[in-house]
Amino acid sequence: MILPLHESAGVVIANISGRIDHASAEAFNVALAPLLQNCTGGAKPLVLDFSGVDYISSVGLRSLMLASRQAKAQKGAFAIAGMQHSVQEVFTISRFSLIMPCYTSVAAACKVLGS
Amino acid sequence: MKKVVFWGTRGSLPVALTADNVRQKIIAALTAANGKSFRNSSALNDFVDTLPFATRGAFGGHSSCVEIVSGGHEHIICDMGSGARPLGQSKIATYGAPNPQTYHIFISHLHWDHLMGFPFFTPMYIPGNRIIIHGCHAQIEDAFRLQMKAPCFPVDYSQAGARIEFDIMTPGQTQYIAGLNVTPKLQLHAGDSYGYRFDSIERSVVYSTDSEHKLESAEQHASFVKFFAKADLVIFDAMYSLAEAVSVKADWGHSSNMVGVELCQAAKAKRLALFHHEPMHDDNQLSRLLAETRRLEEITRDGYDPLEVISAYDGLTVDL
């Protein structure tokens, strides 16, 4: 689900793809855990490139909220970027767009969070 | 089962339209009319029907009270929120006081907004009526008596004219009541709440309010999918947005439109009624929530049969 990382403008970017739902949320959490561990104050910001995600359920959104909360507690910078339109709509309807740092594209996220 | 009538749909606290709310509706209607003139009242009514619900109507402000019309002689009611007052008046108007009736009342839980209508439920004062209060809380009778004790209320419970009985049900155990199979289910809420599934040969209705869904619990998810399975109507606590329900309002005992859609889709339910509306939300906000929930259902359908999404309002009748 999480492809090999790459870096751009001092930002760690993880490419996420597929569905994040009841069936896959646990695998998503497991894959995300080591990335989050390194998302601390002074470390490079972590951006999840969501352009390959075509569906996210309530369970997936909760995983993102916990991830964001952990990063914040560690004083790290964490964001979601490049959501497909339908996923963006789910974020809006669930009001997660109000509590999660979201950017329209990875480039936009890097521009704000990068060095 | 023939239909469901919503007498009270608001969560936590009854609310009323304010003068400003009414003014905004009038302004919206006149703006839409844009100088039109109408030949007669029929033409005027036709025009009003074209207006958005938030302009021509209102979701209402009574707290939880829902009637299930089974087609039998006995009445079936879920919760005794403030909507029980117009419900009681309607029954008196329909049947008359001297014509004894039997009421089966299913109580989700003992919080005030779900009981407060009982002292105003006129049939309880009329001798000859029989009221059976069904619920799973052992202290249910104490709760009903307590809210009518001085100094909380001027008329003591002992003044009831109807014969009132209490039936303590067991979660998960189906009972045959008034021609329906009724199955209670334990739900997550402070002090516990219980949902009820009503099954007749042809139709199924689920009343599930004041119920928080912990997303991390696959077991809880599966149990609710089973509880909602193939229901013709699921009446669902959609008080908060998902973001609120899992963050600032976690453990407040309520759920969201998104979880309602997901559970109903997985359960292959036919119709979802958003219920227990947040008292802070005005008619425009609740209308927007309904439109968003319908869109959510559309974009997450993914092979499921379409789920009809409605938003309950005081006075709404749903044919099953």
What tens digit of pLDDT does each residue of B107-134 get? 999 999 999 999 999 999 999 999 999 9
From B11's Cα to the closest Cα of chain A, the distance in A is 19
Both tokens of B277, joined, read 């509306």
Predicted pLDDT at A3: 65
Indicate which of B242, B262, B278, B297 best probes the interface with A, i.e. most A CBs within 10 Å of its own CB: B242
What share of chain B has pLDDT > 90, as a percent? Answer: 97
Alpha carbons A57 and A63: distance in angstroms, whole number:
10
Burial of B13 (0-12, 13-18, 19+ CB in 10 A): middle
Contact A89 B295 (CB under 8 A): yes
The answer to whether the beta carbons of residues B296 and A93 sit under 8 Å apart is: yes
Residue of B nearest to A56 (CA): B300
Predicted pLDDT at B307: 97
HEC profile for chain B?
Answer: CCEEEEEECECCCCCCCCHHHHHHHHHHHHHHHCCCCCCCHHHHHHHHHHCCHHHHCCCCCCECEEEEECCCCCEEEECCCCCHHHHHHHHHHHHCCCCCCEEEEECCCCCHHHCCCHHHCHHHHCCCCEEEEEECCCCHHHHHHHCCCCCCCCCCHHHCCCEEEEEECCCCCCEEECCEEEEEEEEECCCCEEEEEEECCCCEEEEECCCECCCCCHHHHHHHHHHCCCCCEEEEECCECHHHHHCCCCCCCCCEHHHHHHHHHHHCCCEEEEECECCCCCHHHHHHHHHHHHHHHHHCCCCCCCCEEEECCCCCEEEC
From B254's Cα to the closest Cα of chain A, the distance in A is 15
Predicted pLDDT at B302: 83
The mean per-residue pLDDT over the stretch B27-34 comes to: 96
| Mean pLDDT over each residue of chain A, to the nearest integer | 92
| Mean pLDDT over each residue of chain B, to the nearest integer | 96
Check residue A2 and report its DSSP letter. Answer: B
Both tokens of B118, joined, read 């009982």
pLDDT for A20 beyond 80: yes
pLDDT for B33 beyond 70: yes
Chain centre distance of CA A25: 13
Contact list in B for residue A65 (CB cut-off 8 A) is 243, 246-247
Alpha carbons A8 and A10: distance in angstroms, whole number:
5
- Residue of A58, A89, A93 lying closest to B262 (CB–CB): A58
Predicted pLDDT at B137: 98
Model pLDDT for residues A75-94, shown as the tens digit of each residue? 999 999 999 999 999 999 99
Please report which confidence band the pLDDT of residue A44 belongs to, taking 50, 70 and 90 as the band edges: very high
Please report which confidence band the pLDDT of residue B230 belongs to, taking 50, 70 and 90 as the band edges: very high
C-alpha angle B250-B195-B190 in degrees, rounded to nearest 5: 35
Please report which confidence band the pLDDT of residue B183 belongs to, taking 50, 70 and 90 as the band edges: very high
Rg of chain A on CA atoms, in Å: 13
The answer to whether the beta carbons of residues B75 and B102 sit under 8 Å apart is: yes
From A33's Cα to the closest Cα of chain B, the distance in A is 16
Contact B262 A93 (CB under 8 A): no
Predicted pLDDT at B216: 87
Measured in degrees and rounded to the nearest 5, phi and psi for residue B162 equal -75, 160
Residue of B nearest to A96 (CA): B243
Predicted pLDDT at B31: 97
From B228's Cα to the closest Cα of chain A, the distance in A is 18
Contact list in B for residue A86 (CB cut-off 8 A) is 299
Neighbouring-strand partners of residue B198: B182, B205
Rama region for B258: left / alpha / beta (φ>0; ψ in -120 to 50; rest): alpha
Please report which confidence band the pLDDT of residue A2 belongs to, taking 50, 70 and 90 as the band edges: low
Contact B216 A59 (CB under 8 A): yes
- Residue of B216, B241, B259 lying closest to A95 (CB–CB): B241
Q: Indicate the SS3 state at residue A91.
A: helix
Indicate which of B299, B301, B302, B304 best probes the interface with A, i.e. most A CBs within 10 Å of its own CB: B299
The mean per-residue pLDDT over the stretch A47-76 comes to: 95
Q: Using beta carbons and an 8 Å cutoff, which residues of A are at the interface with B?
A: 22, 55, 57-59, 61-62, 65, 86, 89-90, 92-96, 98-99
From A26's Cα to the closest Cα of chain B, the distance in A is 9
Alpha carbons B233 and B103: distance in angstroms, whole number:
22
Contact B296 A90 (CB under 8 A): yes
Predicted pLDDT at A9: 87
- Residue of A55, A86, A95 lying closest to B242 (CB–CB): A95
Please report which confidence band the pLDDT of residue B98 belongs to, taking 50, 70 and 90 as the band edges: confident
Model pLDDT for residues B244-266, shown as the tens digit of each residue? 999 999 999 999 999 999 999 99
Both tokens of B61, joined, read 């402000």
pLDDT for A96 beyond 90: yes
Neighbouring-strand partners of residue B134: B106, B167
Question: Does an H or E element contain A47, and which?
Answer: strand A46-56
Contact A90 B218 (CB under 8 A): no
Predicted pLDDT at A1: 63
The mean per-residue pLDDT over the stretch B284-288 comes to: 97
Contact A61 B246 (CB under 8 A): yes
The mean per-residue pLDDT over the stretch B87-109 comes to: 96
